[in-house]
Structure 1
């Protein structure tokens, strides 16, 4: 009898949760690690895939894009989910180890900035956001009538989302920013803190509207005088008008490609694409790698 098991494994410095779908052993066993942004989607894709092909076993964990990529380097994963491209350093590390990769860009994501539901702000300019996250603005009174200190809820440096925001805003994060392990922790932190601001995958918010109660998704103004755009506005995303949107990657060991190929094909099927869209992500027309 096949079973679905939720197992917790200790990890140094990282809270790693493994979900083993249709657990079994053999050549059809796939290990997938990485981006916390993608982990909920990955779990649901794996569940549906193994319903159609129960001979497969897929073990999934989050922990950040950097962790997934490091796992590929160490031979501990077949697929690394990543919300950022490989860095030059990582590319060099794979080259030095003579490890070949295939790159799959399977969806488009938008990063949402969230605040407590009672904070009197609905939109924010990119310039002001950079000032907040870098620690140059430390009180909400500079933007609203609320005289409250600003608490920043972010991710560890291993997170692809952390790297994406840092690069997009051309900033160094404030030393006072709280480093959380994932989207859920950021949302819970902001829900409990009227002064808080954090960033999460928009798909995560859209996928769990009940769990997201108590927070407010800010609209983003790229330049003063321009229209404020929500990361939940699919039309704006399709037109690439939202400032914080990016492709989502899956890096696959070339030596694992043959066994991973059926799963990638499922992601690109009608059922797979619908799951991706149901999670609040967006389908790309130009996906890499022939399958």
Structure 2
């Protein structure tokens, strides 16, 4: 289910389906759409920024990176959160409409693979994981002592995470994979399914596992004999050792840049960086680009 959030001054409104921005000065209102991986972090950053800027008003919704980028292209958003870079086709579409963007890389994320805590496995190599995701390995008895069919919980094709995993593993997902609308749905699916495996943003899962140890975060090794690294190990991420780590993007309309920039400056401030770290994400300084 897509969630929408509205922040204005010190109040917070959360709706399940439809949200209308009510702001006295529409020039100050901002619409942010896109990546489900980033939505919880974006909500918290916006909540804290409203305490500093009484004129700030923002509506936030998830739904997937592709939805955010399409909304930007159609003039339905000022900021698109995305867990992947723009595709060549998307870049061409923006250029065709003569829409110029600012690109901000504001955090580094890692995608975590999770299984139920009772699955007798702590790590997987990427070759085996790829075979599971594309449906070549269909029962846990093929790699563990547990005789249970493997159920895959993944994202819809509009998700940047879906595209990221597919590209990294160089696979097509199994037709039997369950397509969920977001991290929360994947996590709940794996919690309730002792034979399930799924993938979620490490920033989303890092706090969840401490309170709900019904899921296990797998460490990943690039080859069967290589060292395995965890997506919640800061040293591994900062050294770029984890196989499924990636930058998180915000694409911003050039026409909206002036009203959005104060919020971006807050994200880049020490307070903003601290909030990003508290959510389980990482700060790795990268150059900012524009298309």
Q: TM-score, normalising length from structure 2? A: 0.93
Residue 5 of structure 1: aligned partner: 13
Shift of the alpha carbon at 1:230? Answer: 0.5
Counterpart in 2 of 1:137? 137
Tell me what 1:37 maps to: 37
Q: From the superposition, tell whether residues 196 and 256 of structure 1 become closer, same or farther in structure 2 (CA, over 3 Å).
A: same
How many residues align structurally? 282
Sort the Cα spacing of 1:190 and 1:259 in 2 relative to 1 into closer, same or farther, 3 A.
same
The CA distance in 2 between the partners of 1:210 and 1:180, in whole Å, is 23
**TM-align CA RMSD:** 1.7
Distance 1:54 1:211 in 2: 34
Residues 116 and 214 of structure 1 are in contact (CA less than 8 Å); yes or no, is this contact kept in structure 2?
yes
Q: Equivalent residue for 2:75?
A: 75
Cα distance, 1:286 vs structure 2: 2.2
Structure 1 residues 125 and 217: alpha-carbon distance in aligned structure 2, compared to 1, 3 A threshold: same
Q: Give the secondary structure class of the aligned counterpart of 1:227.
A: coil
Please give the per-residue CA displacement for 1:176-209, whole angstroms capped at 9, x wherever unaligned.
0000000000000000000000000000011334
Aligned to 2:148: 148
Correspondence list, 1:1-291, <5 A:
3-9=11-17, 25-209=25-209, 212-288=212-288
TM-score (norm 1): 0.93
Matched-pair contact (CA < 8 Å) for 1:187–1:212: no
How much does 1:224 deviate? Answer: 1.7
Which blocks of at least 5 consecutive residues in structure 1 are unaligned?
11-17
CA contact (8 A) 2:209 2:215 kept: no
Q: Residue 272 of structure 1: CA displacement?
A: 0.1
Determine if contact 2:36/2:182 at 8 Å carries over to the other structure. Answer: yes
- SS, match of residue 252 in structure 1: strand
- Alpha-carbon spacing, 1:76–1:139, altered in 2? closer, same or farther (3 Å): same
Structure 1 position 210, deviation (Å): 5.1
Deviation, 1:285, is: 1.5
**How many angstroms apart in 2 are the aligned matches of 1:282 and 1:37?**
14
Q: How far apart in 2 are the matches of 1:200 and 1:71?
A: 23
Paired with 1:266 and 1:289, the residues of 2 have a C-alpha distance of 19
